[in-house]
């Protein structure tokens, strides 16, 4: 691996880790209404996918895998929502349109609710893909995310 490529990889990793940490701080410390607009539409009403090049789709998939791997290594809790937020910011800086989708499902027979966030680029889920099909996106009219 060349020096320039190694440097670009290190910068991307630093950008992702800082994005995860910043997103986690926002979630924990700042009222949602103050920073919600920075995420774009997240109501679950999925927008029509924008045409993307194969290179953009590959780059988005690669970034999603790196986010997932780096999130597991952090000392702070970098679960689905911080991953989706960091991914959105990283992709936006690269000119790749994405959308955060929030969803919920019943977690147990007592009626407790579990929440999940995932990030989509076109038709591809790049973060939160492990479990998103079990959740109903907000604004989806009640259908499971995998059947939208």
Q: 10-47, pLDDT tens digit by residue?
A: 999 999 999 999 999 999 999 988 988 888 777 655 56
Q: Roughly what angle, to the nearest 10 degrees, separates helices 3-29 and 54-73?
A: 60
* pLDDT at residue 147, rounded to an integer: 45
Q: Which residues pair with 121 in a beta bridge?
A: 124
**Calpha distance 103→138 (Å, rounded):** 5
DSSP assignment string, 18-52: HHHHHHHHHHHHS-HHHHGGGG---SS-PPPPPP-
**Calpha distance 27→144 (Å, rounded):** 25
Burial class (CB in 10 A: 0-12, 13-18, 19+), 128: buried
**Every domain of the chain and the residues it spans:** 3-147
* pLDDT at residue 148, rounded to an integer: 41
Higher per-residue confidence, 110 vs 62: 62
**Calpha distance 133→101 (Å, rounded):** 12
Do the beta carbons of residue 101 and residue 46 sit within 8 Å? yes
Q: 37-91, pLDDT tens digit by residue?
A: 888 777 655 566 678 889 999 999 999 999 999 999 999 989 999 999 999 999 9
């Amino acid at each position: 691996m060349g020096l320039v490529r190694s440097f670009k990889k290190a910068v991307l990793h630093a950008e992702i880790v800082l994005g995860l940490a910043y997103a986690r701080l926002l979630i924990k410390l700042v009222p949602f209404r103050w920073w919600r607009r920075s995420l774009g539409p997240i109501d679950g009403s999925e927008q029509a996918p924008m045409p993307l090049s194969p290179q953009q789709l590959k780059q988005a998939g690669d970034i999603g895998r790196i986010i997932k791997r780096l999130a597991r290594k952090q000392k702070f809790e970098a679960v689905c929502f911080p991953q989706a937020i960091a991914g959105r910011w990283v992709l936006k800086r690269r000119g790749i349109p994405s959308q955060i989708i929030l969803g919920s499902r019943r977690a147990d027979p007592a009626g407790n609710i579990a929440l999940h966030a995932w990030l989509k680029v076109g038709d591809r889920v790049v973060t939160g893909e492990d479990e998103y099909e079990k959740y109903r996106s907000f604004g989806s009219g009640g259908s499971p995310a995998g059947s939208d």
